[in-house]
Structure 1
Amino acid sequence: GSSNPGLTQLQSISNRSVSVILCFVYKVEHGFATASVLKDSSTMVVVEEEIQHLGIFDVDPSLGQFKDHFVYRWNKYIEQKSLIEKYEGSLEEFALGYLKFGFNREPGGIVYREWAPAAQEAQLIGDFNGWDGSNHRMEKNEFGVWTIKIPDSGGEPSIPHNSRVKFRFKHGNGIWVDRVPAWIRYATVDPTRFAAAYDGVHWDPPPSERYEFKYPRPPKPSAPRIYEAHVGMSSSEPRVGTYREFADNVLPRIKANNYNTVQLMAIMEHSYYASFGYHVTNFFAVSSRSGTPEDLKYLIDKAHSLGLCVLMDVVHSHASNNVTDGLNGFDVGQSTQESYFHTGERGYHKLWDSRLFNYGNWEVLRFLLSNLRWWLDEFKFDGFRFDGVTSMLYHHHGINMAFSGTYGEYFSEATDVDAIVYMMLANYLIHSLLPDTTVVAEDVSGMPALCRPVYEGAVGFDYRLAMAIPDKWIDYLKNKTDDDWSMKEIVWSLTNRRYSEKCVAYAESHDQAIVGDKTITFLLMDKEMYSGMSDLQPASPIVERGIALHKMIHFITMALGGEGYLNFMGNEFGHPEWIDFPREGNDWSYDKCRRQWNLVDTDHLRYKYMNAFDRAMNLLDDKFSFLASTKQIVSSTNEEDKVIVFERGDLVFVFNFHPENTYEGYKVGCDLPGKYRVALDSDALDFGGHGRVGHDADHFTTPEGIPGVPESNFNNRPNSFKVLSPARTCVVYYRVEDEAETLDEEMTKEKEAAAATQVEIEEAAIQAVGVIVPMGISDEDELEGTGDSADDDQFLRRKQSCRCIC
């Protein structure tokens, strides 16, 4: 019944081609089934002719040498999916596990179920029974599922909303232990007790307290421009920010900068704050540090009202090692068949100190697939970023691996087929429930077919993160002088991706901002950021270089690095310093675990220039959709001039990385003949530049070479025009058509609207925190200017608007 043609094709292949010979054990009770993990002896016969229809071999014929691998994992996928459909009804119904497990209302009371086959006895305890479970013993069925029904009392639930609960059970050693329920939807910690463990909380608010969504999901953008954010560290104050504060204060900033997607980190509950949310303890619970489930719904609804899609950073690659308040607490030494995790060394990640899932286990599949559906259905997320995919793809988890791109590295005995089958099921499910979704894989290995549809025999992600790009920029900024930068190497790093699989490019994310590393801005300007960012005084050479390269690095990454773009919260305006979560080593300080929005809101600080350019970058894509264009042609990488020229869509990009040379009448190639004008100019006054490029100039093309003979053209382009290319600038040109004047007017109005929004943000910030004197500026400077009329005149000139259409 899906509207997705790919899903229809997959169903057709499944129905026509699969003949299954199964060895399994299944039993059904209470409307749900449990099957044993299939033994190696189980087989599947697939008609050879139908295997030829796996589209991945047409997309990349080189994969044909690994046909046996693809056939094997396709068979495993169809086998698992067929079992689920036969004994659970459908994959979609299977993923409704949260309606059976955990706490759910049924006629006359609350029913609680927990899968814990290793338990010998079990009780439900909590505030409702004084933490005495002797009268609330649970019953176990033959699948290891424990159940208890708590009848209502006087027509009211016996377990009050927002009251604490835990699962108490006795394991094989005769020891009783208390654990947070695996399917718990909210968990909190006693703030008065140091290092206290989390308690499960029964979350079932009355109708008057439930948040009701008001706005529909926005349409899927043709190319995601993602704003990666951490709600907890989004406050300007040294404390944990809340979901509602983020919705009211940060979302308008994201919208004003023309992003179309928000990616939220650290939503799943994690007891260790400094893990950045990646050591999840409670998979169905909203992180309680920032508020309640209803508060998160408010945030997502507010984002939708602004036309922003919301992705969730989901962590299914591993789980926290915590025992008392995490899923690991259910592992008491039983076999892997009765556990969420693998046993022995296979069940532990050596570098992350965390537990690894057994993706071949029926109940693990139910748990994880239901987890995805829970976040989509209950909170209206629009998609996911899957964390740690490389670790899932291989038994070696990518540890000590330097992937060279040789196909044999990806398809061998080192490949974890169970994990791949899980991701295929997950992507099929997500796209079936929400055809207009976006699912991004964090994979550093570059596995082929990761980001092609499942019906082709691929894994099914929509995008992968282009993780090698930030490493290249860090290498250049740390180890090379400007004269040593190679234009060819930069272009190769940005374009080295599989043409048939989409990438999200980024110059830096949260990874590059963690303590011990440096952001691009800090690598460029370092201590000058503390004293040299005042616009009331001339910029030092370090600051001028830093701002210029910050704009160029982020923009060329966006324009050439992928089919989507990502920026981490604060990097758009060059947020200084690193991120350091409160911990014992820094005396539990929040000082560097926040965002200093006052820096970009203060008009006489240069941070505003980087922020304005970031806004213009996104607006350019909003108007010309170059990220979604498949036309990407690099026509020149001139090492001597330090100039890169390329086309994306019908736009022509000219990047001059030379530290000193400005080129007048510089010839650039293009495809279409006609008249070109400036669309975006990093040297404009609005962006902290010198205003050297004339935005009113018309650039007329000249035909090159012999028509129909590309090798006779200029840089293999049939036309060319001449430009002014100042040192350390990037300028984008668009081809003028009949409606160009109207386009100019529309984009001018967009700029004015964005500026008005920024004023509202700044006024709100001032009302919230008062006037803040930013670092590097004295009270005297702030109130009186520099006192130098020439400098004040220069400041006024910089206030002039640029005249490019962005």
Structure 2
Amino acid sequence: MVMSLIPGPEDLYLFHEGNLFQSYRMLGAHLTIEAGVSGVRFSVWAPHAREVRVIGDFNRWDGSKHVMQKISLWGVWSLFVPNIKEGNYYKYEIATSGGATLHKADPYAFWSEVKPGTASRIASLEGYEWADQAWREKRKTTSAFHGPMNIYEVHLGTWKKKPDGGYYTYRELAEDLVEYVKDMGYTHIELLPLAEHPYDRSWGYQATGYYSVTSRFGTPKDFMYFIDRCHQAGLGVIMDWVPGHFVKDDHGLRRFDGEPLFEYNDPARADKPEWGTLSFDFSKPEVVSFLISNALFWMDIYHIDGLRVDAVASLLYLNFGKPREMWVKNTHGGDENPEAIEFIKKLNRTVFGYDPHALMMAEDSTAWPLVTAPVHDGGLGFNYKWNMGWMNDMLKYMEMDPYFRGGSHSLLTFSFMYAFSENYVLPLSHDEVVHGKKSLLNKMPGDYWQKFANLRVLYGYMMSHPGKKLLFMGGEFGQFDEWKDLEDLDWEMLGYDSHLSMHRYVRDLNHLYLREAALWELDHQPEGFAWIDPHDQKQSVATFMRKSSDPEDVLVIVSNFTPVYHEHYRIGVPYAGEYVELFNSDAGEYGGSGKLNSGKLKTEEIAWHDRPDSLHIGLPPLATVIFKPIKIKRKRSKANRGRSRADA
């Protein structure tokens, strides 16, 4: 509990200017002491209201007892109510200028009633004793760009459920999920949105409580415990964040004080018919204060390491997802939303000013340039962008009959043309395994064995491709059904050999990734990649190198996307000497056919792929194989060899 939190003139000025970036410390419901009396200071922005009252279980929901005072010309109302404690329920009762009475949840509430209830709850966010200091110090000295990043994307409500169908709590997940993710070799957990939301099947993307971590799984301090345990285990946490739109439920932000407030005044600009939601009005400074404060809130209060910003395309373009009859133009006659663009830039400048090591990832499906360039260099200011182009091309390619993939070889290789134009994350996310799209395994063509082999070669190729990685839960054991967003994953599949072998494969592939700096140290630099052969479309094979800052730390990757075994396949290599097969997705323990390259492989002075030395290998069917030099043979020039003989 803290001393009085009466909003001061400076904070009010900054809020109305769009520059109060910790507005959650002024607005909302705060346990405090005023004039020696314990209670709660309530403050809310409602400029169109005729009157605002606090109602709750402490006054039998009778607003006449607690009428708020307007303390700002631009509509901030405030009131101290004594003798309220943590856990009490409340709402704002708003008398509109049109004569209606609305009951609204607090936009800045820290805790919410368990669904289907819609009230806000009093919560203290102080007093939790964090034990993640080592993690937070490590973040300050570790570059995300030059380190491994392998993200496990999770929907907490359906990762696992209890036998009675109930949810696991944040504290239970802090044990089970954290241990599982760490053992599987991931570096980060990405959580689908956890802001309070009324409808389970929105997955959190249609929120009512932007500052309220969902009560489905416990209390705010339970969530702190979950994050703390992630950090203690060496796992970063990224949360999906949704500034593009909000839900229309009556108790939420829509027409909050009887008039459009958080949304645009113009219905054509406000409405998002594709999702049944409303867009934030980025021209209103108070909305900018609300949203940027919210981004910082999750990092400040909950120690979140970064945000994956959802649906950036819907921010950048006014008419995204709208039928033509609803299209509008900006003042220059274009489709871009200049206010949202400025908001994005301001958001990223502010976040990195607060935490230079934060992760700000754009889920952007457009070709907008310089998404991950700094704002001062003309960019949007994110530090990562999801590579939706790679994902779409690869899944289209993988769904083809392998015998016809050669005609679409460019789908396999085109991503390398732009791989270093942004800082990319390669995502195989929840969006690709729901709404009739089928699971990743079930997208794969062929018989039962070929489906698993196709998925293994895809994962091997993904892990070798430049860019950080993301896989949605269930993909690691080859869930056969698409994601069922009201049920938990099909963990019983691990009782079948093929799925257990896939699970083992992904775990081993993840740990290989962690060990090999060539797979991540130069992810965003052309120097970290080189083609060996991008042109073998006839056999649907791609061969390339990944390199670290050590010039001799090289991996040679060969991916065969047909079910044909090439017993005699030759590849050019960067160095003469001896190589070993470091990894082979066709290994028997992974469910493959066991076509391995055993022992030491010696190069031959046979020029191949424009290189003086080459390896003769067996190339397994539908497999990714990785080779590494273990002994490099130094070649002397003819002149040097001559001098050596003379000296002898």
TM-score by length of 1: 0.70
Residue 470 (str. 1) matches residue 396 (str. 2): no
Aligned to 2:184: 257
C-alpha separation in 2, matches of 1:694 and 1:465? 35
Aligned to 1:422: 343
Residue 124 (str. 1) matches residue 18 (str. 2): no
Q: Which amino acid aligns with 1:332?
A: G
Aligned to 1:647: 545
1:553 to 447, 451, 458: 458
Q: Does the 8 Å contact 2:532/2:543 carry over to 1? A: yes
Q: Which amino acid aligns with 1:450?
A: V
2:577 to 664, 674, 677: 674
Aligned to 1:684: 587
C-alpha separation in 1, matches of 2:604 and 2:154? 43
Q: 1:487 to 1:477 in 2, by over 3 A?
A: closer
Q: Does the 8 Å contact 1:369/1:426 carry over to 2? A: yes
Instruction: Report how far residue 481 of structure 1 moved.
Output: 5.0
C-alpha separation in 1, matches of 2:210 and 2:264? 14
Q: 1:587-607 deviations in whole A, cap 9, x for unaligned?
A: xxx4xx21133433x3x5221
Q: Which has the higher helix share?
A: 1
Residue 165 (str. 1) matches residue 70 (str. 2): no
Aligned to 1:300: 227
Instruction: Report how far residue 670 of structure 1 moved.
Output: 2.5
Residue 702 (str. 1) matches residue 605 (str. 2): yes
C-alpha separation in 1, matches of 2:401 and 2:464? 23
Aligned to 2:440: 520
C-alpha separation in 2, matches of 1:339 and 1:606? 51
Instruction: Report how far residue 720 of structure 1 moved.
Output: 2.3
C-alpha separation in 1, matches of 2:414 and 2:503? 25
Instruction: Report how far residue 170 of structure 1 moved.
Output: 0.6
Count of aligned pairs: 594
Q: Does the 8 Å contact 1:463/1:503 carry over to 2? A: yes
Q: 1:557 to 1:608 in 2, by over 3 A?
A: same
Q: Does the 8 Å contact 2:113/2:215 carry over to 1? A: yes
Q: Does the 8 Å contact 1:505/1:564 carry over to 2? A: yes
Task: For residue 85 of structure 2, give the secondary structure of its aligned residue in structure 1.
Answer: coil
Q: Which amino acid aligns with 2:458?
A: I
C-alpha separation in 2, matches of 1:553 and 1:327? 43
Instruction: Report how far residue 236 of structure 1 moved.
Output: 4.5
Q: Which amino acid aligns with 2:511?
A: L
Task: For residue 471 of structure 1, give the secondary structure of its aligned residue in structure 2.
Answer: helix
Q: Which amino acid aligns with 1:117?
A: P
C-alpha separation in 2, matches of 1:254 and 1:181? 35
Q: Which amino acid aligns with 1:607?
A: H
Aligned to 2:618: 724
Instruction: Report how far residue 33 of structure 1 moved.
Output: 3.7
Q: Does the 8 Å contact 1:396/1:414 carry over to 2? A: yes
C-alpha separation in 2, matches of 1:694 and 1:147? 73
Aligned to 1:346: 269
Aligned to 2:170: 243
Aligned to 2:412: 491
Aligned to 1:733: 627
* 1:359-398 paired onto structure 2 within 5 Å: 359-397=282-320
Q: Does the 8 Å contact 1:398/1:445 carry over to 2? A: no
C-alpha separation in 1, matches of 2:11 and 2:366? 38
Q: Does the 8 Å contact 1:211/1:297 carry over to 2? A: no
Aligned to 2:498: 606
Q: 1:707-732 deviations in whole A, cap 9, x for unaligned?
A: xxxxxxx3344542221112222110
Q: Does the 8 Å contact 2:148/2:514 carry over to 1? A: no
Q: Which amino acid aligns with 2:186?
A: Y
Instruction: Report how far residue 656 of structure 1 moved.
Output: 1.5
C-alpha separation in 1, matches of 2:513 and 2:333? 40
C-alpha separation in 2, matches of 1:130 and 1:36? 32
Q: 1:718 to 1:128 in 2, by over 3 A?
A: farther
Aligned to 2:476: 572
Task: For residue 49 of structure 2, give the secondary structure of its aligned residue in structure 1.
Answer: coil
C-alpha separation in 2, matches of 1:254 and 1:267? 19
Task: For residue 93 of structure 2, give the secondary structure of its aligned residue in structure 1.
Answer: strand
Aligned to 2:367: 446
Q: Does the 8 Å contact 1:348/1:355 carry over to 2? A: yes
Q: Does the 8 Å contact 2:578/2:603 carry over to 1? A: yes
- Shifted more, 264-273 versus 232-241: the winner is 232-241
TM-score by length of 2: 0.86
1:624 to 477, 492, 516: 516
Instruction: Report how far residue 485 of structure 1 moved.
Output: 4.2
Instruction: Report how far residue 176 of structure 1 moved.
Output: 1.2
Q: 1:647-680 deviations in whole A, cap 9, x for unaligned?
A: 121211011122223232x211232333221111
Residue 634 (str. 1) matches residue 564 (str. 2): no
Q: Does the 8 Å contact 2:52/2:68 carry over to 1? A: yes
C-alpha separation in 2, matches of 1:360 and 1:546? 50
Q: Which 5+ residue runs of structure 1 have no aligned equivalent?
A: 1-27, 38-82, 85-90, 152-157, 191-195, 402-410, 526-540, 582-589, 705-713, 739-806
Aligned to 1:267: 194
Q: Does the 8 Å contact 1:262/1:309 carry over to 2? A: yes
Aligned to 1:98: 24
C-alpha separation in 2, matches of 1:479 and 1:670? 30
- Shifted more, 669-678 versus 467-476: the winner is 467-476
Q: 1:614-648 deviations in whole A, cap 9, x for unaligned?
A: 12222222122213323222222312222211112
Instruction: Report how far residue 214 of structure 1 moved.
Output: 4.5
C-alpha separation in 1, matches of 2:537 and 2:414? 15
Q: Which amino acid aligns with 1:160?
A: K
Q: Does the 8 Å contact 1:563/1:628 carry over to 2? A: no
Q: 1:567-604 deviations in whole A, cap 9, x for unaligned?
A: 001101101212233xxxxxxxx4xx21133433x3x5
- Shifted more, 98-107 versus 368-377: the winner is 98-107
Q: Which amino acid aligns with 2:10?
A: G
Task: For residue 120 of structure 1, give the secondary structure of its aligned residue in structure 2.
Answer: strand
